[in-house]
Amino acid sequence: MRNERRIGLISDTHGLLRPAALAALAGVEQILHAGDVGGSAILDGLRNIAPVTAVRGNTDTSPWGRTLPHSAELLIDSVRLLVIHDLAEFAQPQAVQGYRVVVSGHTHRQRVEERGGVLFVNPGAAGPRRFTLPLSVAILTVRGPELSVELVALDERSTSAT
């Protein structure tokens, strides 16, 4: 078992993969995309960094988007993770029972909160700016049973689409 595992968290790219997002995720060993991807080119760009697990968001309605799973479960060392798009769909506490980390998107709002032994992380939106919300991704670090999350602000001037 490695001492430290760095996992990139991204959501709500909506077809825009910013160079700043790629730079922020450089060096992670895996990337989790929490939906509203916007096309296969986004995942292809992320795969240049690390293997990607992505789920379908409410705007991923194209034939390609509908091939993405609604949710994904992962085990990183001994840490069970759930990746979903809209946390509101899992409003009942028992829905996330048994998971240590739940990664979601949808709201475009950054969130890192621990409740009942579950770490809820929304990395914020990394695609087109919505309202006045900041653009960001997150890095989840797993050190055995210890977890930490770093929110990484993205330069909004960086807009080259992939």
The predicted model scores a pTM of: 0.93
pLDDT for position 161 = 47
pLDDT of residue 85: 96
What are the φ and ψ backbone dihedral angles of 45, each rounded to 5 degrees?
Answer: -65, -40
**Residue-level pLDDT at 24:** 97
pLDDT tens digit sequence for 59-112:
999 999 999 999 999 999 899 999 999 998 876 666 778 899 999 999 999 999
Q: Strand 118-122 and strand 146-153: pairing?
A: unpaired
Residue labelled with tokens 């091939």: 67
In the prediction, which pLDDT does 1 show?
44
Mean pLDDT of 28-54: 98
pLDDT computed for residue 93 by the predictor: 64
C-alpha 97/C-alpha 138 separation (Å) is: 23
Of 36 and 162, the one with more pLDDT: 36
Q: Is the pLDDT of residue 120 over 90?
A: yes
The reported pLDDT for the residue numbered 131 is 80
Structure tokens at 77: 């060392």
pLDDT attached to residue 2: 53
The domains of the chain, with CATH numbers, are 5-153 (3.60.21.10)
What is the rounded CA–CA span in Å between residue 137 and residue 92?
Answer: 26
Q: What percentage of the chain reaches a pLDDT higher than 90?
A: 79
